[in-house]
Amino acid sequence: MITGILLVQAVAFAILSAIIASNKNRSAGGWGALGFLFGLFGFIAAIAVGEVEDDTRSFRRRSSQQKSSSPEKKQTPRNKEKESASQTFDPDEHEKKCPMCAEYIKLEARRCKHCGHEFSEEEVERQIEEKRKEIEGERQDEDDETEKTINMDNLTKPQRYSLDTHRFIDDGSECERCGLSKAYIVEHLYKCPYSDR
């Protein structure tokens, strides 16, 4: 009789633990086994454990971006830099600090999940716009930094060697083989991967 009651109780805690774990994107089988073996303690642990972020959406986004990029296009540092600058601003990837509890929440959040502080719709829109301008300003600064001119007379030996591994047509500013600018090559001492030197 007692064994039957204990068995029913263990099965009930296993099912409850598995349901809660599944809702938190965790292994239902593993947490069900814990609920079965440890009963109430396994169930409490399943409640207390945090939720796992679901990465399927970001994985799908990354895989679709990889499919859309041309397989024939060479992935050089310069091409990667241009590709990242052309990506659109996604507010879902940024956070803001709650002024009441100082915890970080999503940029688009209207209510703090920690303390319940509410943001007006205008305030949320303003924060998103400020972050967008900040990110675009940083990208513009990076572009300006890579496009700066260099003085060919004051180059060190390693800088000259790096430039000599690249091929520039008619004193152009970018290597015809890898697409990098002279300023980037000199600053990073980047040897052309297509050079035999």
Query: Is the predicted pLDDT of residue 183 greater than 50, yes or no?
Result: yes
- Model pLDDT, residue 17: 87
Written as one letter, the residue type at 84 is S
Q: What is the mean pLDDT of the chain?
A: 76
Tell me what percent of the residues of the chain surpass a pLDDT of 70. Answer: 73
Select, from the ranges 6-15, 17-26, 92-101, 166-175, the one with the highest average predicted confidence (pLDDT). Answer: 6-15
Q: Is 71 exposed, middle or buried (0-12, 13-18, 19+ CB in 10 A)?
A: exposed
DSSP letter for 177, please. T
- H helices, E strands: number in the chain: 8, 2
What is the tens place of the pLDDT at every residue in 113-158?
999 999 888 888 888 888 888 877 776 665 555 455 666 677 888 8
- Model pLDDT, residue 74: 47
End-to-end CA gap in the chain? 84
Tally the C-alpha atoms within 13 A of residue 3's C-alpha that lie toward its C-beta: 0
Query: Is the predicted pLDDT of residue 2 greater than 90, yes or no?
Result: no
Query: Is the predicted pLDDT of residue 31 greater than 60, yes or no?
Result: yes
In this prediction, residues 159-170 reach a mean pLDDT of 81
In this prediction, residues 150-178 reach a mean pLDDT of 78
This prediction has a pTM of 0.31
- Model pLDDT, residue 150: 67
What is the tens place of the pLDDT at every residue in 61-114?
555 555 554 444 445 554 554 444 445 777 778 888 888 898 888 888 889 999
- Model pLDDT, residue 59: 54
Tell me what percent of the residues of the chain surpass a pLDDT of 90. Answer: 3
- Model pLDDT, residue 15: 93
Closest CA to 178 of 67, 98, 80, 89: 80
- Model pLDDT, residue 85: 43
DSSP letter for 9, please. H
Q: Domain spans of the chain?
A: 2-48, 73-146, 152-188
